[in-house]
Amino acid sequence: MKKEIIVTDQAPKAIGPYSQGVKAGGFLFLSGAIALDPASGEIVKGGIVAEAEQVMKNIGALLQAAGVGFGDVVKTVIYLADMGDFATVNGIYGRFFEAAAPARVTVEVKGLPRGALVEIEVTALCG
């Protein structure tokens, strides 16, 4: 089985030894996305609403770079620094899935990279 590394400058560069995304075996695996601005490399300001919006934009850019879209997403994992942000993130997240939503797990964690409030990991189908 062959794997293909997905890279785009429309999403933040990896901040460690990992790829933005990897295609393998008919699937696309995206690394966890936090609310980094692709141009500055800094966390966007504005709290959980701004962060959730930026995370979903970053995911969209990576999906597009891989030739797929939100409709191809089959599983996500949402990591929250505070489960009290669940409803806010859920509302923003839900706008990006027009058809059947993917399977999902949401967990509260002690901390996220760069002090982020939310991180989302994605698995999608790709042809």
Confirm if 43 and 70 have CB atoms less than 8 A apart: no
Binned at pLDDT 50, 70 and 90, residue 98 comes out as confident
Answer whether residue 107 shows pLDDT above 90. yes
pLDDT tens-digit readout, 17-69? 999 999 999 999 999 999 999 999 999 999 999 999 999 999 999 999 999 99
pLDDT tens-digit readout, 80-91? 999 999 999 999
With residue 89 as reference, give the H or E element that holds it: helix 86-94
Answer whether residue 100 shows pLDDT above 90. no
Could you give the angle at the alpha carbon of 57 between the alpha carbons of 28 and 120, nearest 5°? 55
- CA 29, CA 125: separation in Å to the nearest integer? 9
Answer whether residue 127 shows pLDDT above 80. no
The pLDDT assigned to 101 comes to 93
Quickly tell me which residue has 């999906």 as its tokens. 63
Q: Where are the beta strands (DSSP E) in the chain?
A: 3-6, 21-24, 27-33, 73-80, 103-108, 118-125
pLDDT-above-90 percentage for the chain: 92
